[in-house]
Copies of this chain bind each other. A is one copy, B any other.
Amino acid sequence: MTDDRQRPPRLVFLTTAAERQMRRWIARRGAGPTSVPGNGHGIGAPAAGVLLHLADHPDATVGEVTAALRASPAGASGLLARMERADLVRRRTDPDDRRTVRLDLTPAGTAALDDVRAALAELNDRLTDGVSPDELATVARWLEHVTRTLP
């Protein structure tokens, strides 16, 4: 409590902390009767992002998902491999271009979507609770500014 007068508001630190908090909340919240019903979880934040994207963009390629999630190709590849192992998505080689891999949801993946959507809605409620739309717009604008600005 002796160092409250930091020079700048330490936006880097605050953003990192907030992101981790969200990640933990989602991971704990679990959102997954995916595999083992006992332990509860199964779908983390990134996996949820993949499911949501595939729900809106069937037959998306790995590259499309990578771009949509702002991930690296390597990261997306690993994530998708784990999700395939967990029977959430399927990977098929595109017949027209055997380099590209097309993705779609398995029944289990589709089933998990409801939980994911519910969890995301609840999280969003918490995040926006008591914050004016103007402020939220400012925050969103700044976050986009960050994403666009950094090389």
Contacts and interface: CB of A to CB of B under 8 A. Distances in A.
Interface of A: 3, 8-9, 11-26, 28, 45, 49, 56, 69-71, 120, 123-124, 126-131, 135-147, 149-151
Contacts of A45: 12, 16
A45 to B, nearest CB: 7
B14 A143 contact: yes
B140 A138 contact: no
Contacts of A71: 20
A71 B23 CA distance: 12
A17 B16 CA distance: 11
Per DSSP, are chain A's interface residues mostly helix, strand or loop, or mixed? helix
A70 B3 CA distance: 16
A108 to B, nearest CB: 23
A13 B49 contact: yes
Given A11-B127, A127-B11, A21 B139 contact: no
Contacts of A14: 140, 143-144, 147
A17 B143 contact: yes
A20 to B, nearest CB: 6
A26 to B, nearest CB: 8
B139 A12 contact: no
Given A16-B45, A21-B70, 18 more contacts: A3-B56, A8-B128, A11-B128, A11-B136, A11-B139, A12-B124, A13-B49, A15-B18, A16-B22, A16-B23, A16-B49, A17-B69, A18-B147, A19-B19, A25-B150, A28-B151, A129-B149, A130-B145
